[in-house]
């Protein structure tokens, strides 16, 4: 009886192990290829719980179905105008045909190496149809990088789908450099172009400044002329008013006016330590000379 229980327990354990070996799960980010003695019998691309034959009969091969991104090795190439460039690209790809991918590649590293070689070969042939102005330019209309990237992606995509079961989603230029042997000459040319542009802007600025100064000087002269004209008119009116007042005052009392003018003249000419010599018939002398009875006579 006891021996029967032990046998039953062993058989139960074996049955559980057999059932577990026949069950497997596929995650959301995975593809599963079921192979039987090395030959593919089923492809599973939906997540869930599945059954298979025991492990020694069927095997599960898991593939990552997420989008993968990598960068290519730098490559030096010549453009259509014989300008050399060093380019590095990025590539976005994913599995398009799981069975073909599984049969043609061993792992993702080998897959990326093959893609890198293919993309680099396309770079040389595609960039040869363009000039440096189509790659680097201040004029956005001349830059054709998007067009170049699309050509490389379309050309490479057809080959990768047929040979490796891979779909290329995007190819882009990650970095552009000049080779070290031409880098200095390129920088000098760029500096010369910038200096030329700077001189042009400075000349235009000086021309505009000269026009502004000329216009300002003209306006200043007009303002000064107008101010001088008004000042002369005001001075003339003041002199006229002064003459009228002078004439009116002189008409009322000529002798008093003559006396005041004489005092003013004496004040201006008689300074400190001044010697004044006058003739006896001078008009100024009669106001300085005292004669007895002159006041009473007056």
Q: Answer yes or no: is 4 within a domain.
A: no
Q: Answer yes or no: is 267 within a domain.
A: yes
Looking at the structure, tell me whether residues 78 and 46 fall in a common domain: no
Looking at the structure, tell me whether residues 24 and 107 fall in a common domain: no
Looking at the structure, tell me whether residues 288 and 262 fall in a common domain: yes
Whether the per-residue pLDDT at 193 is higher than 60: the answer is: yes
Which of 224 and 4 is assigned the larger pLDDT? 224
- C-alpha 64/C-alpha 45 separation (Å) is 10
Residue 39: the pLDDT is 84
Please check whether residue 63 is in contact with residue 82, taking contact to mean a CB–CB distance below 8 angstroms.
Answer: no
Instruction: Count CA atoms closer than 13 A to 247's CA, side-chain side.
Output: 6
Short-list 243, 100, 217, 93, CA closest to 156: 93
Whether the per-residue pLDDT at 66 is higher than 80: the answer is: yes
Residue 295: the pLDDT is 46
Residue 18: the pLDDT is 67
Looking at the structure, tell me whether residues 90 and 163 fall in a common domain: yes
Residue 79: the pLDDT is 86
Q: Answer yes or no: is 221 within a domain.
A: no
Looking at the structure, tell me whether residues 58 and 72 fall in a common domain: no
pLDDT-based confidence at residue 272 (cuts at 50, 70, 90): low
pTM metric for this prediction = 0.55
Short-list 29, 61, 32, CA closest to 44: 32
pLDDT-based confidence at residue 1 (cuts at 50, 70, 90): low
Region 106-128: mean pLDDT is 85
Residue 244: the pLDDT is 81
Whether the per-residue pLDDT at 154 is higher than 60: the answer is: yes
Q: Which of 15-24, 38-47, 165-174, 269-278 has the highest mean pLDDT?
A: 165-174
Looking at the structure, tell me whether residues 96 and 55 fall in a common domain: no
Q: Answer yes or no: is 230 within a domain.
A: no
What element of type H or E holds 86? strand 84-95
Looking at the structure, tell me whether residues 89 and 173 fall in a common domain: yes
Q: Answer yes or no: is 213 within a domain.
A: no
Q: What percent of the chain has pLDDT over 70?
A: 81
- C-alpha dist (Å) from residue 19 to 23, 56, 61, 142, 237: 7, 13, 19, 66, 127
Here the tokens at position 50 are 């599945």
State which of 64, 93, 118 marks the end of a domain: 64
Structural domain total, the chain: 3
Q: Answer yes or no: is 275 within a domain.
A: yes
Q: Answer yes or no: is 193 within a domain.
A: no
Looking at the structure, tell me whether residues 99 and 173 fall in a common domain: yes
Q: Answer yes or no: is 84 within a domain.
A: yes
pLDDT digits (tens, 9 = 90+) for 195-253: 888 999 999 999 999 999 999 988 998 999 999 889 989 998 888 888 888 777 777 77
Q: What percent of the chain has pLDDT over 90?
A: 11
Residue 93: the pLDDT is 92
Whether the per-residue pLDDT at 112 is higher than 80: the answer is: yes
Whether the per-residue pLDDT at 296 is higher than 50: the answer is: no
Looking at the structure, tell me whether residues 45 and 91 fall in a common domain: no
Looking at the structure, tell me whether residues 96 and 161 fall in a common domain: yes
Q: What is the 3-state secondary structure (H, E, C) of 9-60?
A: HHHHHHHHHHHHHHEEEECCCEEEEEEECCEEEEEECCCEEEECCCCCCEEE
Region 164-176: mean pLDDT is 89
Mean pLDDT over each residue of the chain, to the nearest integer: 81
pLDDT digits (tens, 9 = 90+) for 17-58: 767 678 888 888 888 888 888 788 888 888 888 888 877 788
**Three-state DSSP class for 67?**
coil
Looking at the structure, tell me whether residues 24 and 114 fall in a common domain: no
Lowest pLDDT segment from 7-21, 57-71, 137-151, 165-179: 7-21
Question: Which residues form the domain of 40?
Answer: 19-64
Looking at the structure, tell me whether residues 81 and 35 fall in a common domain: no
Residue 41: the pLDDT is 85
């Amino acid at each position: 009886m006891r021996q029967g229980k032990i046998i039953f327990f062993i058989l139960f354990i074996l049955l559980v192990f057999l059932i577990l070996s026949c069950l497997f799960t596929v995650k959301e980010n995975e593809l599963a290829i079921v192979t039987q003695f090395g030959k593919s019998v089923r492809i599973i691309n939906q997540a869930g719980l599945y059954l298979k034959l025991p492990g020694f009969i069927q095997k599960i091969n898991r593939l990552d179905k997420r989008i993968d991104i990598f960068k290519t090795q730098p490559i030096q190439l010549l453009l259509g105008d014989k300008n050399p460039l060093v380019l590095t690209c990025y590539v976005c790809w994913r599995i398009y045909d799981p069975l073909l991918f599984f049969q043609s590649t061993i792992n993702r590293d080998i897959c990326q190496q093959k893609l890198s070689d293919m993309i680099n070969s396309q770079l040389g042939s595609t960039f040869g149809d363009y000039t440096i102005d189509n790659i680097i330019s201040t004029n956005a209309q001349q830059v054709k990088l998007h067009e170049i990237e699309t050509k490389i992606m379309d050309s490479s995509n057809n080959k990768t789908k047929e040979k490796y079961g891979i779909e290329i989603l995007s190819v882009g230029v990650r970095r552009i450099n000049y080779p070290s042997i031409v880098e200095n000459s390129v920088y000098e040319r760029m500096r010369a172009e910038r200096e030329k542009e700077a001189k042009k802007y400075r000349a235009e600025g000086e021309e505009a400044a000269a026009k502004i100064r000329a216009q300002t000087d003209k306006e200043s002269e007009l303002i000064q002329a107008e101010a001088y004209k008004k000042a002369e008119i005001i001075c003339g009116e003041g002199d006229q008013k002064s003459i009228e007042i002078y004439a009116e005052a002189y008409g009322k009392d000529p002798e008093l006016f003559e006396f005041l003018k004489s005092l003013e003249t004496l004040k201006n000419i008689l300074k400190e330590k001044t010697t004044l010599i006058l003739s006896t018939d001078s008009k100024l002398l009669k106001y300085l000379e005292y004669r007895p009875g002159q006041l009473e006579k007056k």
